[in-house]
Amino acid sequence: MGCSTSSPAKSNGSFDERGASDSKTMRIKLVLLGDSGVGKSCIVLRFVRGQFDPSSKVTVGASFLSQTIALQDSTTVKFEIWDTAGQERYASLAPLYYRGAGAAVVVYDITSPESFQKAQYWVKELQKFGSPDIVMALVGNKSDLHASRKVTVEEAQEYADSNGMFFIETSAKTADNINQLFEEIGKRLPRPATTQKS
Amino acid sequence: MRESDPSDKELNSENNDLQTENPGSQDVSFAYQQTFDAKQADDGPCSLPSHLSEKELDNNGSSTCDNGVNIESADAQREATGLTTFEFPVPEEGPQTYVKKVKSELEGASDGNQTEYNSDGIEEPDPGDTNANAEHRECSPRVANAQFNSQDKSDPKGNEILEQRDTVVNRSLTAFSSTCNIEPVESSIIRVQSAVENGNMEGHRPYADSEGKIASLSAVDGVAASSNGRESFEEIEVVDSGLVKNGGLLKRDLFLEKQHQSEDDSSESWRKHKKHFFILSHAGKPIYSRYGDEHKLAGFAATLQAIMSFVENGGDRINYVRSGDHQVVFLVKGPVYLVSISSTNEPLRVLRRQLDLLHGQLLLILTRSLEKCFVKNANFDLRPLLGGTENVFSSLIHSFSWNFASFLSSYTCLPLSHTARQAAGAALQDIADKNLLFALLLSDSKVISLVGAQKASLHPDDIFLLSNFVSSSESFRNTESFSPICLPKYNSMTFLYAYIRYLDPDICLILITKNSDAFFHLKDCRARIEGFLMETHVLRDISNSVARGGLRVEELPGGDVSYTSAPRSRRMGDTKDSTITVKLKAGVGGTAGLWHFIYRCVYLDQYVASEFSSPLETPQAKKRLFRAYQSLYASIHGAPTGAHQMQYRRDGNFVLLAWSTSDFEFLAAFDPLAEKSSSITVCNRVCQWVRDMENDLFFIGGSPFNW
């Protein structure tokens, strides 16, 4: 294996090559981006291991995890997930992780307008430097903290619409919408042979 | 013997440091200014503080120059010539506040070539050259304040001299704190002492050999004589009073800032911490503080910066300030300033090394390219770039009081049977290819095995900093990670990429590459290594070793049990132990009251230390021993020629024994009642035993870093 296998542009190619043997399985590189502390690692751990650890641990560099899900159309998608560190010092290294990614999840914290700003920065960055057909999701995390919400659903939805992303609010703590997030991404991924949703 | 010990030691360690620092001296080149050099040129080699025996110390009345400022311009030649040290009186306005009285010291000092004056006396360090003297005075105002124009006149002269002696690249200037006497009568006694003389008086043997030294010695005598002359006396006095004022200011600022903090921060406690570390930018922006919120400490950081840049503007570098029990140590690394303030009484050399490691940790996270940020914008705020790394730094600082690697500059290995270690090495070897720079298998900070690409060698300090970085970052524990890191001793400019994966909770595999795309390749490598280690049960052996813990002195041969899976040497057990074993059984610890030991293999850059057991189990006891080792180690390295090869010290807590040879260094702690002869016997045996067990205790790969 190698990074290249999961790059969407190339991966379409490689999927085609392998398509004959395994058209129903897709491998996709997914990257999570967002400000530090918005809960990227928590989303991933909830998705991959079904765990939630309230004691937050700062991610260093990037963690790699993978998880396979089956979609309703009987396709299976293997996500190779890069959970990046949100710290500023890694910003310049982000291309390392989103290069060739087929899907990007840009996360913000609904209680933090700054993190929403940062999310918009990442969206722009991905539009400029990411793969052209990357599937992008805008995720407002910590929806369980709606009492202290600072970023409205409308605001985020509008931004997502205008940038061709889909929007969802999740809570890694309560597991709310976590699986839906990844399933939706799976559905929107370009299909190897013919069917292209989204 | 004038000088009471602490300062002596300091000087000593200072010397040492300088030597080690020399290679990097260009870093601080901006700090050199020619004005300084001149006067010192003729001194030639200088001060060498000697090690005073504890007895001597006691006689002197222990508390010594407690307040002082040490300023140094880095100097390439220093190594060759020895340290030239000048001291300036930095009396305080309110001596009572911080200073311990040292009356006895004064008294004792006067007979030892030291000249003392009541109320601001100074001793001219440089007899032969009046210009140099002028120079000397000239710098003192800088230290505290640039008020004395009259002195500045001497500058040109100094410069000329300097040019004449261009061989002398640089010199260090040490302004020492004069000790203020709190005795009622002599409340304003200030003792100024030139380190130059110090060294000479002490008659440090190793140094006496050098010609320059001898020359300076005679020069010093001249000084002592001349200093009695009225003229020089008065001139100096002026300087002195200025210093008094400024010195007081300096000190007060430090403390006021702290108080200020406490107001802000609810922290009476903040000031009570025994050891503070600060990193700040040359513009005075706080980058890291061990305690307290950096933002709230902005004022304090600015004060530190003001002190440092003030001295720097004069072409010098401030080394340290002593005030009462506190030592303030400064380190300048390009645009980054590091400061520690401590009351732990650790040797200066040790504190400087700690700052150095702190800087190394900063580089490991950001590389030296962080300096570019400051070039672009001097006001750059580095804090955001360090987000989430507090743990890394605090764990590093914590390790300064438990991890021997922090002062030994060596790494230690997990004890493992030779075959298991070879198998682990083979597993790492197996995946070595052009993508891989280093592969390490670690258990916490202990090395299980490592390999490196040809010609690439991994410095023990890099291992130390890397293992600290990895073990203090929780996020590595659960997932595979790929993180940019910099190995400052390998190449401080570039990022490398580390694939990090815990094979089990105690065993961490780190694969380092230059290739940022190599993650999936390294992931495969990891799978192969893991598979191999599982198959060969090496993983299990390693876990067992981790569970078993390190060496225990009770289990050393000579006692009843021996540690090991390999054939052990019986030599320790057999001969003439009747007396020794009796003691062993009577007390806790090992043979002949052996409580603990460290054996450092010089050519492998590795050490092995026993676990802290029975009488040393409490955190206080551990820390006490740790600190005692630190200063012991500093003292065997204090003299440039490796003077103190064997030391035997006894105090109320333990007997310490240090033994340094070209092959190994050995430090041991014994029961305070242990007999000298038997403890020496035991040391010999332990050393022999360690050598016999070398294959299990050390990582020996021929040349360890090649494949």
pLDDT of residue B44: 35
Distance from C-alpha of B257 to C-alpha of B279, rounded to nearest angstrom: 16
Instruction: Please give the structure tokens belonging to residue A180.
Output: 């839906």
Q: What is the mean pLDDT of each run of 10 residues along chain B (707 residues)?
A: 40 38 36 34 35 36 43 41 34 35 36 36 38 39 37 41 36 32 31 32 34 33 34 30 33 33 57 90 91 85 90 89 92 94 92 96 93 91 88 93 93 93 90 89 92 84 95 89 94 94 94 92 94 93 91 70 35 37 45 89 92 85 92 79 74 89 91 87 90 89 46
Burial class of residue B395, CB neighbours in 10 A (0-12, 13-18, 19+): middle
A92 touches chain B (CB under 8 A): no
Residues, chain A: 198
Residue of chain B minimizing CA distance to A96: B516
Cβ–Cβ under 8 Å, residues B170 and B32: yes
In terms of CA atoms, which chain A residue is nearest residue B391?
A58
Mutation for testing the A interface, residue in B475, B496, B528 having most A CBs under 10 Å: B475
CB contact under 8 A, A90 and B484: yes
Q: Which chain B residues are closer than 8 Å to A90 by Cβ?
A: 484
A 10 A CB-CB count for B619 gives: 11
Q: Which of B474, B482, B495 sits opposite A57 (nearest CB)?
A: B474
Question: Within chain A, which residues score under 70 in pLDDT?
Answer: 1-23, 192-198
Measured between beta carbons, the chain A residues lying within 8 angstroms of B498 are: 61
**Chain A residues touching B389 at Cβ < 8 A:** 58
pLDDT of residue B256: 31
Q: Token pair of A13, please?
A: 């190619």
Helices (H), B101-175: 103-111, 130-144, 149-152, 154-164
What is the chain A residue with the closest CA to B516?
Answer: A96
Residues 98-137 of B with CB under 8 A from A: none
- Least CB-CB distance to B388: which of A2, A58, A64? A58
Q: Which of A29, A59, A89 to mutate to test the interface with B (most CBs of B within 10 A)?
A: A89
| ipTM for the predicted complex | 0.84
Is A65 in Cβ contact with B386 (below 8 Å)?
no
Say which amino acid occupies B556: L
Rounded-to-integer distance, Cα B180 and Cα B283, Å: 33
Distance (Å, whole) CA B597 – CA B625 = 10
Give A145→chain B minimum CA distance, Å. 23
Chain B: give the shortest CA distance to residue A132, in Å.
20
Q: Which residue among A3, A60, A90 places its CB closest to the CB of B517?
A: A3
Are the C-beta atoms of residues B595 and B615 closer than 8 Å to each other? yes
CA distance A160 to A169: 12
- In three-state secondary structure terms, B367 is coil
C-beta atoms of B517 and A36 within 8 A: no
Nearest-CA distance B390 → chain A (Å): 10
Q: Which of A2, A60, A88 has the CB atom closest to B520's CB atom?
A: A2
Place of tokens 């600190």: B627
- Residues of chain B with Cβ-Cβ distance to A89 below 8 Å are 365-366, 384-387
Query: What pLDDT shows up at residue B226?
Result: 34
**Which chain B residues are within 8 Å of A61, Cβ to Cβ?**
481-485, 498, 500
Relative to beta strand B606-609, strand B411-413 is parallel
Q: To which H or E segment does residue B509 belong?
A: strand B507-513
Instruction: Kindly list the residues from chain B whose CB atom is less than 8 angstroms away from the CB atom of residue A88.
Output: 384-385, 387
What is the CATH class of B553-697?
A: alpha beta
User: Domains (ranges, CATH) in chain A?
Assistant: 20-188 (3.40.50.300)
Buried b (16+ CB within 10 A) or exposed e, B533-566: beebebbebbbebbeeebbbbbbbbbbeebbbbe
Contact B223, B125 (CB under 8 A): yes
Cβ distance B388 to A60 less than 8 Å, yes or no, reads yes
Query: Can you say how many angstroms the Cα of residue B645 is from the centroid of all Cα atoms in its chain?
Result: 19
C-alpha distance from residue B297 to each of B197, B264, B284, B441 (Å) = 40, 9, 11, 40
Burial of B186 by CB count in 10 Å (0-12 exposed, 13-18 middle, 19+ buried)? middle
pLDDT value of residue A15: 36
**Contact flag A59-B475 (C-beta cutoff 8 Å):** yes
Question: Which among B388, B482, B524 has CB closest to A64?
Answer: B482
A47, A51, A56, A60: best mutation site toward chain B, by most B Cβ within 10 Å?
Answer: A60
What's the whole-model pTM score? 0.69
Q: What is d(CA B436, CA B432) in angstroms, rounded to the nearest whole number?
A: 6
Query: Exposed/middle/buried for B421, CB within 10 Å: 0-12, 13-18, 19+?
Result: buried
Q: What are phi and psi of B455, to 5 degrees?
A: 70, 0
| pLDDT score of B269 | 80
Q: Do B479 and A58 touch (CB under 8 A)?
A: no
Q: Are A82 and A96 in contact (CB under 8 A)?
A: no
Q: Where in chain B is the domain with CATH 3.30.450.30?
A: 412-547
* Contacts A5 to B, Cβ<8 Å: 520
Alpha-carbon distance of B67 to B328, in angstroms, equals 10
Report strand pairing: B594-601 vs B336-342. unpaired
**Nearest-CA residue of chain B relative to A59?**
B475
Distance CA B96, CA B75 (A): 36
Which residues, in sequence order, are bridge partners of residue B330? B339
Q: Given A61, A89, A96, which is nearest B366 (Cβ)?
A: A89
Question: In this complex, which of A5, A61, A86 lies closest to B482 when CB atoms are compared?
Answer: A61
Q: CA B331 to CA B312: how far, in whole Å?
A: 12
CATH code of B412-547, in short, is 3.30.450.30
Cβ pair A64:B481 closer than 8 A:
yes
Distance from CA of A196 to the nearest CA of B (A): 28
Residue ranges of B 344-403 with Cβ closer than 8 A to chain A = 365-366, 384-389, 391
Confidence (pLDDT) at B297 = 86
Residue with tokens 């970023």: A151
User: What are the contacts of B560-563 at 24+ separation with CB within 8 A?
Assistant: B563/B415
Q: Give CA–CA dist B8/B1, Å, rounded.
A: 9
- Check if the beta carbon of residue B428 is closer than 8 Å to that of residue B450: yes
CB contact under 8 A, B473 and A60: yes
- E-assigned strand segments in B315-437: 318-323, 326-333, 336-342, 411-413
CB A1 to CB B524 under 8 A? yes
What does the alpha-carbon distance between residue A64 and residue A43 come to, in Å, rounded to a whole number?
13
CB A84 within 8 A of CB A99: no
| Burial classification of residue B603, based on how many CB atoms lie within 10 Å of its CB (0-12 exposed, 13-18 middle, 19 or more buried) | exposed
